[in-house]
Amino acid sequence: MQPIKNQFWTILLVLSGVAANAQLVTNADRYTQPGVDVLNYDFSLTLSDSTNRIMGETTIRFTRADDRQTVWFDLISPRTDTSAGMLVREVRLVNGKTAPFTQRNDRVFINLPASVDSPAPNQPTDVTIRYDGTPARGLIISRNKFGDRTFFGDNWPNNARNWLPVVDHPSDKATCSFTVNAPAAYRIISNGKFLGEAPAPGESAATARTVTRWQETTPIPTKVMVIGAARFAVDDVGSVNGVPVQSWLYPNDSQKGFIDYQPAKEILRWFIDKIGPYSYEKLANVQSTTIFGGMENASCIFYNEKIIVGKKDSDVEALLAHEIAHQWFGNSATEADWSHLWLSEGFATYFSALYLEHAYGRDTLNAVLNQNEKQIFRYAAKHPNSTVIDSTTTNLVDLLNPNSYQKGGWVLHMLRHEVGDDAFWRGIRDYYATYRNANARTSDFQTLMEKASGKKLDWFFRQWLNQPGFPELVWESRYDAGKRQIIIDVRQIQKSGMLFTVPLVFSIRNASGRELQRTPKLTLDQQSQTFTIPLGTKPAQLIIDPDNTVLMRTDATERTQPGK
C-alpha cells in the first residue's frame, strides 16, 4: 500500500486513529496453526442499504498434518449484544451435519468429529461457517465523496478477520471466491476472474438485487482478499500478454479517472518484461474509500478516491507503479512474516522508482531517491535504534514507516550497484520465479542474490537490514603537488558507534564542472581512513558518490568539496 500522494507522513492523517485500534501481534500469538493449511475460501456475503450488518457464509477447505480434532479461524467477535463484530450462528461439515464450536479470543474454534466422516491427515477437510454482524474494520461501509453508499474491503494488516473467518496471516495463502448478494444499483469488483451476475431469486422490481461471483484461482494472502461495491463506470483499457486491464471509477469522476489510470497498461507491460509473468486473471484499478493512497489487493487495486486529477500526473503515475509492483512483490512473492515487510513495501517503493527511471530518465530516479533519503533521515532522528527487519514491534501499523518503505527501497538500490545490473536483474527474476505464489524470508532473497552475483552478501544484508541507522561521514581532501596525488581523509561519526562498510567513489572535476576522472571504488570500513589517489593536476572540486548509490549523510553541500 502507499500513502496519499506518495508522501509517507500523511499516513498519520489518513489513518485517523486506525493505528490506535490496530490488532496486536506478539511472539506468543503468531496467528497460525502448525500443521493446518488453508487451501480455499468460498465467501458468500449479503449486503444491505438498510443496515451495516452483513450476513456471511464461508466454506473453508484445509488440510491437517495430524489427527487433531480442534481447528480455529480468526473472526472478531462482538463484545456486547450491540457492538460491532461477527456472531457465528452455525458450523456445518461437508456431509451437512453441524459441528460443535465456540467463539472466544476473537476466534471460532471448531470441534471435528473423530469418525469416518472426518478425512485422514493431509486430506482436504471442508467446514462451512454461517455468521452475521457489523464490521468494526476491514470492510469499510460508508459514503464516498459524492455521497453515494459504498462497501470496500481494506484488510491490511490483519483486518480481514473483522468480516471474514480466515487464518489472518500472510504465510497461509489460499485461493478464494466471492459470491455477493447486493442491491442491483451496485457493481461488484473482487479478486480474480468474473464468473457472472444474475438477479437474486425471489426479489421484486422494487427490491431488485443481484448476485455477483468472482473467483481467484491463484493463492493469495488474506490481506489482499477483498470486494468493492459501488456505482461504477468501467473502462476496458486493453490487455497485456492476455491480461485484461480495467479502470473502475465513480461515474462522476470517470472521465478524469480514466485519464489518471491510463498508464497502468504500460506499467504492467514493463514489469512483466523485467520481472516475470503476471500471476492473476486481470488488473483492475479501482477508485475507492481505502484509508491508504492505494491498497494493492490482488488483481483489483483500490486507490483513494481523492487522488483524481484528470491529467497525466507524476504522483498518480508513481502511485500506480507502486501498487502494480506489489502484484509481484507482496501479493505473489509474499513475506513469510510481518517482520519481513520490506520484501513487500521496500520492493514496491524501489520498483516504482525503477519504472519512473525507465519512463523519464535517471534524473527522475535520483529525485525520488533524494526525497526518500530525507524521509529516512527524519525517521532515524526520532527512532535511532530502529531496523528494517523488526521482530519486536507489537503494533503492526507501526511497521508502516520509512524503514519498510524508503530504506527498504534504498537497500535494493545499493544492492543493484553492489552486484551490478546484470546480476541484480538475474537475481530478482530468480527470486520471483522461485517464490511466485509462495512465501519468502529475507534470507531466501539473500541466498538467490548471492547465487546470481557469485558474491557473499551476509555483511551487506546484516548492516543494512539488521543494523540501525546509516553512515554519517565527514571528509576533507588536500592535493600534494610534490607527489602529484590527492589525499582524502574520511571519518564515520554516527552516534550509535556502529561501523558500516561503505563503498566510496569520488568524481574529480575541473573548475567548469567537467569530470577529469573517477577514483576506483574505495572501501571505508574503519572509523577513520585515508585514501591516496594519483592525480597529475590539482582538481577544482571533488564529488563524493556522484552516481547516488549509497545511503549516507555527509558534511559537504551536495556531497561536493573544492580541492585544496
Q: Are 355 and 325 in contact (CB under 8 A)?
A: yes
- pLDDT value of position 202: 77
Average pLDDT of the residues of the chain: 92
Position 205 pLDDT exceeds 70: no
> Which neighbouring-strand residues pair with 227?
190
- pLDDT value of position 14: 32
More confident residue, 93 or 207: 93
Q: Summarize pLDDT for 278-315 with one digit per residue, the tens.
A: 999 999 999 999 999 999 999 999 999 999 999 988 89
374/63 Cα distance (integer angstroms)? 48
Position 326 pLDDT exceeds 60: yes
Q: Please provide residue 354's backbone torsions phi and psi, each rounded to the nearest 5 degrees.
A: -65, -35
Q: Are strands 300-304 and 283-288 parallel, antiparallel or unpaired?
A: parallel
537/472 Cα distance (integer angstroms)? 29
- pLDDT value of position 206: 59
Stretch 256-273: mean pLDDT, rounded? 98
Q: Summarize pLDDT for 105-126 with one digit per residue, the tens.
A: 999 999 998 765 556 788 999 9
Stretch 257-273: mean pLDDT, rounded? 98
Q: Summarize pLDDT for 37-61 with one digit per residue, the tens.
A: 999 999 999 999 999 999 999 999 9
Domain ranges of the chain: 472-562
Stretch 465-481: mean pLDDT, rounded? 96
Position 178 pLDDT exceeds 90: yes
Q: Which amino acid is at 85?
A: G
Position 470 pLDDT exceeds 90: yes
Within the chain, what is the greatest distance between any pair of CA atoms? 98
DSSP 271-297: HHHHT----SS-EEEEEE--SSSEE--
C-alpha cell at 471: 553512515
- pLDDT value of position 118: 58
Stretch 322-346: mean pLDDT, rounded? 98
Q: Which amino acid is at 185?
A: A
Q: Summarize pLDDT for 356-402 with one digit per residue, the tens.
A: 999 999 999 999 999 999 999 999 999 999 999 999 998 999 999 99
Percent of the chain with pLDDT over 90: 84
C-alpha cell at 25: 501481534
Position 21 pLDDT exceeds 50: no
173/155 Cα distance (integer angstroms)? 14
- pLDDT value of position 280: 98
- pLDDT value of position 204: 64
Q: Summarize pLDDT for 63-106 with one digit per residue, the tens.
A: 999 888 899 999 999 988 788 999 999 999 999 999 999 999 99
Q: How would residue 9 be classed by pLDDT, with cut points 50, 70 and 90?
A: very low
Position 15 pLDDT exceeds 80: no
Position 27 pLDDT exceeds 50: no
Percent of the chain with pLDDT over 70: 92
User: Does a cis peptide bond (omega within 30 degrees of 0) precede residue 503?
Assistant: no
Question: What's the CATH fold of domain 472-562?
Answer: Immunoglobulin-like (2.60.40)
Q: Summarize pLDDT for 525-546 with one digit per residue, the tens.
A: 999 999 999 999 899 999 999 9
For the chain, give percent helix, strand, coil, nearest 5.
30, 35, 35
> Which neighbouring-strand residues pair with 270?
none
Look up the pTM and report it: 0.93
